């Protein structure tokens, strides 16, 4: 097996040390194609453009936590550092995993990079599998050596050689592009293991090229922006940092969260009610679904039906925040138990590295409870009246926020009247099973 195609063979010498007919099945035009490749793939301009490489889990995580023997999927993404070029013409790199041998990666069957796979493009040969496997890397001592390929920038046709014969796709890599994907098996021993990318090289099409008679290219630098960590066995489970009930106030105040304590004494006094909960973690979590959230409601008469409120969940802040929304809001004058189950650290699979902390929280919806004692009395009315004229409210002032019942960002007679209309409501005795 020879691996000169990307390195010191076609791209680094005028006469490659490998036989041309072994790579293409052609014996004619050897000198012409060799000279063309040497000149077209190895431009002499300065390396003004870099190809930035990032190894990650599907979804973007730079590390995962898994059980021994588990299958771990990975992706290699590339982005050019500037747009002053015609896009990626060729790329290559070697993947290494210090936790064991890597199997060949996946060969792109569709999309822009498919034109860098033989016969449309050019890759290293690999005697152990069909020619297209060259793009997925050649396994040597457990590494995937010289993954990648190049486009037919020389505009070869099948009458000259069997490959490359595809058309050229321009502007590849000006936005982040998936270069390669694959999977590996987590080692049996606990520990942190590294999947790394190295020995990278790349060419880009010269800006403004028309492809007549060919597409000239220049060499690009290669920068590794991120490798990929596989944590096996022991993990640091994410912890719940805080729960908040969030409401949007006017007058430019915006979203304001009221902290929900583990004591179970929190009440949401604003007209928006319990419509948006924000849970913050100290590490990123895997994408949650509504199956991870259970809501039980009750009042003085028994259970409260929550099925009339559609629940949606999402993440924010790099998946360190979980947003639970209800539309319409959960019914007022009721107590709720919200429980999170099955949440795991980002990159983990079900049941591995479960989130810990305050996963169950109790709260009440008591419209007009400005003082926060889970009931509405004359004290709430008087407290709100004392703030009339505040415009806009101070989002850091708890009493301002709780007294702005209408959530218009100020405290007016309308807030006072709205709170007065709720006097007599009391949720202190509600107990959910």
Instruction: For tokens 């020619």, name the residue.
Output: 131
Of 1-5, 116-120, 321-325, the one with minimum mean pLDDT is 1-5
| Fold observed for domain 20-232 | Immunoglobulin-like (2.60.40)
Query: Which pLDDT score is estimated for 233?
Result: 79
**What's the N-to-C CA distance of the chain in angstroms?**
70
Give the number of other Cβ atoms within 10 Å of residue 170's Cβ: 17
Q: How large is the average pLDDT for residues 70-96?
A: 95
Band (1; pLDDT cuts 50, 70, 90): very low
Of 14-18, 120-124, 406-410, the one with minimum mean pLDDT is 14-18
Band (111; pLDDT cuts 50, 70, 90): confident
User: Do residues 169 and 120 lie in contact, with contact meaning Cβ atoms separated by under 8 Å?
Assistant: no
Instruction: For tokens 């590295």, name the residue.
Output: 353
Band (327; pLDDT cuts 50, 70, 90): very high
On the question of pLDDT at 31 being above 60, the answer is no
Band (20; pLDDT cuts 50, 70, 90): very low
Band (296; pLDDT cuts 50, 70, 90): very high
**Element of type H or E holding 37:** helix 30-41
pLDDT tens digits, 337-390:
999 999 988 877 777 788 999 999 999 999 999 999 999 999 999 999 999 999
Give the number of other Cβ atoms within 10 Å of residue 350's Cβ: 8
Give the number of other Cβ atoms within 10 Å of residue 115's Cβ: 19
User: Do residues 123 and 104 lie in contact, with contact meaning Cβ atoms separated by under 8 Å?
Assistant: no
Domain with residues 240-420, CATH architecture: Sandwich (2.60)
Helices (H) and strands (E) counted in the chain, each on its own, are 5, 20
Query: Which pLDDT score is estimated for 348?
Result: 75
Conformational region of residue 78, where left means phi above 0, alpha means psi within -120 to 50, and beta covers everything else: beta
pLDDT tens digits, 161-214:
888 999 999 999 999 999 999 999 999 888 889 999 999 999 999 999 888 999
On the question of pLDDT at 273 being above 90, the answer is yes
Instruction: For tokens 């004359």, name the residue.
Output: 378
User: Do residues 9 and 18 lie in contact, with contact meaning Cβ atoms separated by under 8 Å?
Assistant: yes
On the question of pLDDT at 51 being above 90, the answer is yes
Prediction pTM value: 0.56
Band (63; pLDDT cuts 50, 70, 90): confident
Query: Which pLDDT score is estimated for 429?
Result: 96
Q: Where are the domains of the chain?
A: 20-232, 240-420
Please give the Cα distance from 397 to 294 (Å, whole number).
Answer: 31
Query: Which pLDDT score is estimated for 47?
Result: 60
């Amino acid at each position: 097996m020879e691996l000169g195609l990307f390195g010191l063979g076609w791209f680094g010498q005028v006469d490659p040390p490998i036989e041309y007919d072994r790579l293409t099945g052609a014996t004619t035009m050897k000198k012409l194609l060799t000279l063309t490749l040497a000149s077209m793939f190895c431009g002499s301009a300065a390396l003004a453009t870099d190809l930035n490489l990032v190894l990650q889990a599907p979804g973007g995580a730079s590390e995962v936590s898994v059980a021994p023997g588990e299958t771990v999927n990975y992706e290699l993404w590339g982005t050019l550092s500037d747009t002053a070029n015609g896009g990626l013409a060729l790329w290559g790199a070697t993947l290494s995993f210090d936790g064991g041998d890597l199997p060949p990666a996946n060969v792109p069957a569709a999309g822009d990079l498919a034109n860098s796979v033989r016969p449309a493009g050019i890759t290293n040969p690999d005697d152990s599998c069909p020619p297209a496997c060259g793009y997925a890397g050649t396994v040597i001592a457990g590494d995937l050596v010289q993954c990648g390929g190049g486009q037919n920038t020389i505009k070869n046709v099948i009458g000259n050689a069997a490959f490359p014969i595809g058309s050229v796709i321009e502007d590849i890599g000006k936005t982040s592009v998936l270069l390669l994907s694959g999977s590996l098996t987590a080692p049996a021993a606990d520990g942190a293991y590294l999947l790394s990318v190295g020995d990278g090289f790349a060419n880009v099409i010269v800006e403004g090229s028309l492809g007549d008679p060919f597409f000239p290219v220049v060499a690009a630098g290669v920068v590794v922006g991120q490798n990929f960590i596989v944590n096996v066995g022991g993990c640091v489970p994410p912890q719940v940092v805080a729960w908040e009930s969030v409401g949007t106030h006017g007058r430019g105040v915006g979203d304001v969260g009221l902290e929900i304590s583990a004591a179970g004494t929190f009440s949401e006094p604003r007209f928006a009610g319990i419509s948006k909960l924000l849970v913050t973690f100290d590490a990123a979590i895997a994408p949650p679904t509504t199956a991870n959230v259970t809501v039980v409601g009750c009042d003085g008469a028994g259970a409260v039906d929550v099925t009339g409120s559609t629940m949606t969940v999402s993440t924010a802040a790099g998946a360190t925040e979980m947003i639970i929304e209800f539309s319409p809001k959960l019914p007022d004058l009721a107590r709720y138990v919200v429980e999170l189950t099955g949440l795991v650290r980002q990159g983990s699979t079900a049941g591995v590295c479960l989130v810990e902390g305050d996963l169950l929280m109790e709260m009440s919806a008591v419209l007009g409870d400005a003082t926060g004692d889970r009931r509405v009395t004359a004290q709430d009315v008087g407290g709100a009246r004392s703030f009339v004229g505040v415009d806009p409210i101070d989002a850091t002032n708890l009493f301002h926020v709780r007294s702005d019942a209408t959530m218009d960002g100020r405290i007016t007679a309308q807030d006072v009247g709205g709170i007065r209309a709720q006097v007599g409501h009391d949720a202190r005795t509600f107990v959910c099973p």
